Structure 1
Amino acid sequence: MNIPPVDYGAVFHALPGMVAVLTPGLVYVDVNEDFARLSGRTREQLIGQYLFDVFPDNPNDPAATGSRNLMTSLRRVLVTGERDTMALQRYDVEAPGSPGEWEERYWSPVNVPVLDAGGEVVLLVHRVEEITELIRAHGLPEGDRARVLEAELYTRAHELQEVNERLREAHAREREVALALQEAMLPVPRPLEHHLAAVRYRPAADALNVCGDWYDLVELPENRLTVAVGDVVGHGLAAAGVMGQLRSALSAASRVAVGPAQALDVLGLYARFVDGAESTTAATAFVDCDARTITYSSAGHPPPALLRGGGTVEFLDRATDPPLGARPEHQPRPQAVTGFADGDTLVLYTDGLIERRHEDIDTGLQRLADALVRHRHSDPDALADLVLGELLPPGGATDDTALVIVRL
């Protein structure tokens, strides 16, 4: 089927309802046909003009708050980078061609940011639902109309508050169950016979954002051990359930596989039959203590870090492949080997430790490396707490964090 190219300019102007595009300085860049028609302004009267020069508050109404409320909403979008839906607004507009004559209008605006590749707001989409005729249809005097609107808004706000309260209660219950499930499936590993190790799991601060991070640490015969971490896409009970299945599968595969690539191959094949497992990331490392080698492989996961005793950090990133289920056909995964010396420290973690919104991942990796070097003389338990304390936001992260530290 041949799909013709889309003329997005034509689509924009044909959009139903009033839609405008603004700069961060609140200057009109473009408006669609409905915006010009329903506002009673030509494109020439809008494009290049400051929003509040075109639509100021009615100077004859001391109680007018339309422009102030709209400015607050637009500033909130610029600061947070998130959309803002405003409550119903009375916003009088000066009649076209009749200076000093103001028309009573009722608008319901939504303001949406347009972000660049770095997450900065470069444009604002300002959509306005014009409901003046609906309000006028009540046929009430202005004072009664205001009271009816106020009562209706209060009722809607009260209903919304009740819905939000029920949602919060439901999410809180789901969070408690998901955390209990994760704790049951992420027991503290038994102490290693020949190495000091520490594991940490920190759930997301947001009740809606309990995810499916996991860790595993297994001591094998012949003075070997395996370390793994993973991250299931999604939130809540579903993600926690998938996490349990994948963690168990990888742990079992690691005990019989000849290397980490084969273990992830097995996990990838298994994940094809687990609903919700697609796009899961995982990293695993096989440590041969006699040969002083670390063999590692990653399925779309942030690279393990090797803290050298001399005070440098090497990120193990030479065997990175797509997440589980990302390829339509199965392909063998790569693995790489690096050596280590007594006193080196192996660190595996999930992305909640390093990733921050509007920030390049290299910044988070460098922050981790700096913390590891700064506290390199601490034992694994103290090092884990120090790293979490420095890297996680004071109010808690918005994503789960799993961390495994092994002194080799």
Structure 2
Amino acid sequence: MKHSGIDYEAVFQALPAAAALLTTDLVYADVNEAYLRASGRTRGQIVGRYMFDVFPDNPNDHAATGTRNLQASLLRVAATGERDAMALQRYDVEDPDRPGRWEERYWSPVNAPVVDADGRVTLVLHRVEEVTELLHARSGRFGGDRTRALEAELYTRARELQEVNERLRRAHAREREVALSLQSAMLPAPGPLGRRGAVRYQPAVGSLNVCGDWFDLAELPGGCFAVAVGDVVGHGLTAAGVMGQLRSALSAAVRVADGPAAALDALGLYARSVEGAESTTALQTVIDCDNRTVTYSSAGHPPPALLHADGAVEFLDRATDPPLGARFEHVPRVQAEAAFSEGAALVLYTDGLIERRHEDIDTGMNRLADCLGRHGEADAETLADALLAELIPPGGNTDDTALVVVRL
């Protein structure tokens, strides 16, 4: 735990506030000395054990919710990667020297994620301050009755705050469900591709889990079909609304335009009238199965991957222009063409599949190419599942991911 000459283990142990490191399954990985003093336990009684086996609910107080609130907070931090500062909690602690005797205690907890280089939550830092004595000291000058009354009032206020937080959580969950239904309704099924195609949309963890990623599929005259992906900047219902407008506009444009570049030109002009569309990235491809070519144009979007029949992976990056709205004046976009043979596959995706915090994008693209090389003979559905399983962190990603796989 040393970096730049600092012994971080010694720092952790010297912290004046009680702190514990928990696994995502809420098993103690480590605790500092202040935590041992506050809990009245030894390291051997804590480390390696499930938190709520060490500190269970007080069985004599069925109305107590402190430990349950704490458990919900810790699990939420582990799942979403978002910090949670909790309201004042009352949860009692059993006297280790007198089993069956419970002490009324008040705590102020803050729970924070510890993530790795891929953004996955690996540990949860639980920092807690006991405020029982502080409450007693502040209320002692009023006498015993007044002290108990003040404690009861503080406990009631804490319970009320917890109930408000729970109502907000339920409202947030309902909003997320509505948003996901809206997003699903706006994204098409892989009908034009039949069994040769697979589509996936995996929302990010946290927030509404709804953003501006999209994909679109369209049948074109002459036995061709078009596949597009795009990504609107931002999160939530506003981004999803912008996404719906741009997806529909591009889907219409590609049906009448002379190629992908002309379709993106039309989309760029339309996007100037859509608030929130600036800096959107989009990629449009047209697949000609008779001539075995992929024609493509990109507005600042990550390049599609063409998996050839021999297992080689080619990133189609010869027709990339800036995102929508990045230029002050309209400039015609470029397009390019790539050939393929029977047995190839085309993979379109949004940046959630390859980008990670503190990591160069080339690392993610190399990871994608490696996965495609190892699963190159799989059908479209199996290949799509393998890409998500291997490239998305186990705890979920902090960005949405849209994915289209087409067997050519």
TM-score w.r.t. structure 1 length?
0.65
Structure 1 residues 159 and 182: alpha-carbon distance in aligned structure 2, compared to 1, 3 A threshold: same
| Counterpart residue number, 1:366 | 366
Structure 1 position 303 matched with structure 2 position 303: yes
- Distance in 2 (CA, whole Å) between partners of 1:198 and 1:63 is 54
Q: Does the 8 A contact of 1:353 with 1:401 survive in 2?
A: yes
| Counterpart residue number, 2:203 | 203
The AA in structure 2 aligned to 1:186 is L
**Which region of structure 1 is more displaced relative to structure 2, 372-381 or 317-326?**
317-326
Aligned-partner SS, 1:254? helix
- Distance in 2 (CA, whole Å) between partners of 1:148 and 1:334 is 74
| Counterpart residue number, 1:355 | 355
Structure 1 residues 261 and 385: alpha-carbon distance in aligned structure 2, compared to 1, 3 A threshold: same
| Counterpart residue number, 2:191 | 190
Q: Does the 8 A contact of 1:307 with 1:376 survive in 2?
A: yes
Structure 1 residues 360 and 82: alpha-carbon distance in aligned structure 2, compared to 1, 3 A threshold: farther
Q: Does the 8 A contact of 1:215 with 1:402 survive in 2?
A: yes
Q: Does the 8 A contact of 1:172 with 1:207 survive in 2?
A: no
Q: Does the 8 A contact of 2:217 with 2:226 survive in 1?
A: yes
Aligned-partner SS, 1:247? helix
% identical aligned pairs: 70
Aligned-partner SS, 2:258? coil
Per-residue Cα deviation, 1:368-406 (whole angstroms, up to 9, x for no partner): 212211111111122222222332333443333221111
- Distance in 2 (CA, whole Å) between partners of 1:168 and 1:83 is 15
Q: CA deviation at 1:280?
A: 1.8
Q: Does the 8 A contact of 1:226 with 1:254 survive in 2?
A: yes
- Distance in 2 (CA, whole Å) between partners of 1:250 and 1:157 is 51
Aligned-partner SS, 1:209? coil
Q: Does the 8 A contact of 2:188 with 2:215 survive in 1?
A: no
Q: CA deviation at 1:254?
A: 0.8
| Counterpart residue number, 1:234 | 234
- Distance in 1 (CA, whole Å) between partners of 2:395 and 2:220 is 39
Q: What aligned pairs does 1:132-151 form with structure 2 within 5 A after superposition?
A: 140=141
Structure 1 position 248 matched with structure 2 position 248: yes
The AA in structure 2 aligned to 1:171 is H
- Distance in 1 (CA, whole Å) between partners of 2:246 and 2:300 is 15
- Distance in 2 (CA, whole Å) between partners of 1:400 and 1:118 is 15
| Counterpart residue number, 1:164 | 165
| Counterpart residue number, 2:24 | none
- Distance in 2 (CA, whole Å) between partners of 1:386 and 1:185 is 25
Q: What aligned pairs does 1:19-38 form with structure 2 within 5 A after superposition?
A: none
Q: CA deviation at 1:316?
A: 1.4
| Counterpart residue number, 2:3 | none
Q: Does the 8 A contact of 2:82 with 2:206 survive in 1?
A: no
Q: CA deviation at 1:278?
A: 2.1
- Distance in 2 (CA, whole Å) between partners of 1:219 and 1:320 is 24
- Distance in 2 (CA, whole Å) between partners of 1:83 and 1:315 is 38
Per-residue Cα deviation, 1:343-388 (whole angstroms, up to 9, x for no partner): 2111101222223333332222222212211111111122222222
- Distance in 1 (CA, whole Å) between partners of 2:371 and 2:293 is 24
Structure 1 residues 377 and 157: alpha-carbon distance in aligned structure 2, compared to 1, 3 A threshold: same
- Distance in 1 (CA, whole Å) between partners of 2:153 and 2:270 is 54
Structure 1 residues 147 and 82: alpha-carbon distance in aligned structure 2, compared to 1, 3 A threshold: farther
Structure 1 residues 393 and 153: alpha-carbon distance in aligned structure 2, compared to 1, 3 A threshold: farther
Q: Does the 8 A contact of 2:299 with 2:323 survive in 1?
A: yes
The AA in structure 2 aligned to 1:270 is Y
Q: CA deviation at 1:253?
A: 0.8
Per-residue Cα deviation, 1:50-96 (whole angstroms, up to 9, x for no partner): 876xxxx99xxx7699xxxxxxxxxx9xx9997786889xxxxxxxx
| Counterpart residue number, 2:324 | 324
**Which region of structure 1 is more displaced relative to structure 2, 334-343 or 392-401?**
392-401
Aligned-partner SS, 2:368? helix
- Distance in 1 (CA, whole Å) between partners of 2:162 and 2:87 is 14
- Distance in 1 (CA, whole Å) between partners of 2:150 and 2:261 is 64
- Distance in 2 (CA, whole Å) between partners of 1:269 and 1:257 is 14
- Distance in 2 (CA, whole Å) between partners of 1:112 and 1:397 is 17
Q: Does the 8 A contact of 1:178 with 1:210 survive in 2?
A: yes
Q: CA deviation at 1:275?
A: 2.1
- What's the Cα RMSD here? 5.0
The AA in structure 2 aligned to 1:313 is V
Aligned-partner SS, 2:227? strand
Structure 1 residues 368 and 154: alpha-carbon distance in aligned structure 2, compared to 1, 3 A threshold: farther
Q: Does the 8 A contact of 1:212 with 1:239 survive in 2?
A: yes
Per-residue Cα deviation, 1:251-279 (whole angstroms, up to 9, x for no partner): 11111222222211211221121222222
The AA in structure 2 aligned to 1:339 is A
Structure 1 position 383 matched with structure 2 position 396: no
Structure 1 residues 196 and 112: alpha-carbon distance in aligned structure 2, compared to 1, 3 A threshold: closer
- Distance in 2 (CA, whole Å) between partners of 1:226 and 1:109 is 53
Structure 1 position 393 matched with structure 2 position 369: no
Structure 1 residues 254 and 291: alpha-carbon distance in aligned structure 2, compared to 1, 3 A threshold: same
Q: What aligned pairs does 1:75-224 form with structure 2 within 5 A after superposition?
A: 140=141, 154-155=155-156, 157-192=158-193, 196-206=196-206, 208-224=208-224
Q: CA deviation at 1:407?
A: 1.5
Q: Runs of 5+ in structure 1 lacking a partner? A: 1-21, 28-49, 66-75, 89-107, 120-134
The AA in structure 2 aligned to 1:336 is A
Q: Runs of 5+ in structure 2 lacking a partner? A: 1-5, 17-32, 41-73, 89-107, 120-135
Structure 1 residues 138 and 332: alpha-carbon distance in aligned structure 2, compared to 1, 3 A threshold: farther
The AA in structure 2 aligned to 1:241 is G
Q: CA deviation at 1:210?
A: 1.5
- Distance in 2 (CA, whole Å) between partners of 1:84 and 1:172 is 17
The AA in structure 2 aligned to 1:188 is A
